[in-house]
A and B are shown apart, each in its own frame.
Chain A
Amino acid sequence: MSQTVHLRATAAAVDAAAAPALTRRACTLALVALATGAAAASARSPRLITVGGSLTEAVFALGAEAQLVGTDTTSLYPVAAQATPKVGYMRQLSAEGLLALRPDVVLALAGSGPPLVLQQLRSARVQVELVERRHEWDDVRRTVQAAGRATGRSAAAQDLLRRLEQEWTRVRAQVQAYRGPTPRALFIMAHGGSPLVAGGQTAAHAMLTLAGARNVVAGFNGFRPLTAESMAAAAPDVIVTTTQSLQAVGGAEGFWRRPELALTPAWQRRHSGAALWHQDALALLGFGPRLAQVLEALHRGLVAA
């Protein structure tokens, strides 16, 4: 669009130069048109939809939020992200719904879909960028770099990444310098219904391990409900959960009232305040730009227990 304007303006300028009969005013007009056309071509930054809270965070961290025309329901941070048009849950996207927002780029976490919808977006000439998530530091690198490419701010992304990397190195050194006993930790998610604990291959497991703790239920993969007996056998010293879980059960008192927890070492020390550590779900499990910061807090919380 702006390209055509540009070309037309150029043609007009050439005509104006070639025809001395034209008034100077027409010539100036054509040149002004040329200048605005060129400016529009470079200033027209891509319209962007992000699917995945950590990607949205990265776009905000780059200061490119003006380019966001839509986000998914997991994009809750920063608060301004909640005011963008919502395209629904990341695994249940609607092709026409997304296209209605006229994006140039859809930046999504791998696993967003259905795959067919992504295919339809591509066939409608929308660039679809998928970002792998493996629950490691490189997630942050991939997230920030992808956000930089998608918003046309790769240089800013490099700067941000350099700062985050320094912070990460510092926090990792701090975790590795810790010489005390390894905390025995358990991650519980309780959004109503019976609470689920995080086994291997989960974001929670990765966070506990990175923070220098031992996940006491790493014997299985994914989230599972745990019986009171297995909970007692696992014997966690400290329990990590999401702020949302805590809210769902009515705060710390409600949380400790779960019968499964009554036989754990953590329960016996529940009044100390250090046996239960919580954090916002997206910050804790999102592997976004806040990773280093959250990991530092988690490590402190775990070793204090």
Chain B
Amino acid sequence: MNTLVMKRAGLAGLAGLLPGPRRGSWVLLGLGVALLASLIWSSGQGAFGLPLRELPAVLAAAFTTYWWPGAERSAAELVFFNIRLPRLVLAVAAGAGLGVAGALMQGLFRNPLADPGLIGVSSGAALAAAFAIVLGSLWWPEVPLALGTWPLMLMAFFGGLVVTALIYTLSLGDGGTRVGIMLLAGIAINALAGAGIGLLSYLATDEQLRNLQFWMLGSLGGALWEAVLVVGLIALATVALAQRLARPLNALALGEAQAVMLGVPVERLKLACILLTALVVGAVTATTGIIGFIGLVAPHIVRLLAGPDHRWVLPGSALLGAVLVLLADAWARTMIAPAELPLGIITALVGVPFFLLLLRSAHARTL
């Protein structure tokens, strides 16, 4: 209990130290620095003995082989550029995407417990992935569909979009979308997708079951440069576009009627939030499987530090999400090396207790 009180004083004190009106920009700056630091630190982490101090040499060598392609590439160079670097970029893209999507959802539902899973993106992607893994062998018998294969990624991406569209359509009423109905429809459709996944895993062979299980636990092991770049661009675009929704979301926080009176096109705002979330979470989930709790935890922490203004919460959540996924993945890659832990296990294992602690210590006031 004592530590809880101290934690609370610590966080509140930290936020209080920052100058009032510009607190948000200080928090963003701090998170930016944290992202840079964790990016540099985790590029030196990994099972392959390639510590940080050897990186400059590897980069220089890569520069040489790039301009003089005849030269032999060293093992360290191959590992860094083909395996570790795409993984770091994917971690940043996935974390930023999940973080900003979480902030959008919490803003849209005006509920700090909302997360991107609520509008069915993750469960839709999971159902489609299960479908591809278990029944895909009927169409592509020669390709075992596992994490990081293209048909699986495309299926998961469109699965997420279709289920989100379904939930959105279900929530449409006479006067536009009703957020309460959307919430309930989301829960119901998620349960339905869960049943579908259960049925498919019953039909699955041992091999398919394992592939499905590892997909559901999430991993950045599927970091192929092509996929990484696509996800990276989508995440970047989402973070940029989301910034334009910050002020309307601030108005929405006052209530839907008030937002309308302030001249916010509420229906368009909702649709934009849902579209962006579905797009970015769909793309991330399709490449990495399910990574939980980033979308829930990142916006919370940013709100504690910077206050509820979406102009800070949205980009802050993207930065913090990226930091969290980078650190969690560095752990996943090294903890039981040469084997590797599924990332989703770590984000849940570390994310949940931390989240509960936050709830107990600091959120009693703001919830």
Contact = CB atoms under 8 A, between A and B. Distances in A.
Contact of B221 (A70, A100, A117, A221): A117
B230 interface: no
A87 B148 contact: no
Contacts of A91: 146, 207, 210-211, 214
A99 B339 contact: no
A100 B336 contact: no
Interface residues of B, number: 33
Contacts of B193: none
A100 B206 CA distance: 29
Interface string A178-198: 000000000000000000000
Interface of B is mostly: loop
Interface in A203-256: 221-223
Interface string B70-95: 00000100110011100000000000
A222 B222 contact: no
A120 interface: yes
Nearest to B342: A92
A35 interface: no
B339 A94 contact: yes
Interface residues of A, number: 33
A134 interface: no
A115 B152 CA distance: 12
Contacts of B219: 92
A96 B220 CA distance: 12
B54 to A, nearest CB: 14
Interface in A8-48: none
Contacts of B143: 115
Given A97-B339, A100-B337, A125-B78, A120 B147 contact: no
A272 interface: no
A102 interface: yes
Contacts, number: 107
B184 interface: no
Interface in B144-197: 144, 146-149
Interface stretch (B42-50, B55-63, B122-130, B315-323): B42-50
A88 B338 contact: yes
B84 A96 contact: yes
Contacts of A73: 339
A119 B338 CA distance: 17
A85 B78 CA distance: 23
Interface string B230-251: 0000000000000000000000
A123 interface: yes
Interface of B: 46-49, 75, 78-79, 82-84, 143-144, 146-149, 205-207, 210-211, 214, 219, 221-222, 224, 333, 336-340, 342
CB-based closest 7 A-B pairs: A88-B339, A97-B338, A116-B148, A94-B340, A100-B47, A97-B47, A114-B146
28 contacts: A73-B339, A85-B338, A88-B336, A91-B214, A92-B210, A93-B340, A94-B221, A94-B333, A94-B337, A94-B339, A96-B47, A96-B83, A96-B84, A97-B338, A97-B340, A100-B48, A100-B337, A101-B338, A114-B146, A114-B148, A114-B221, A115-B143, A117-B221, A119-B224, A120-B82, A123-B82, A124-B79, A221-B205
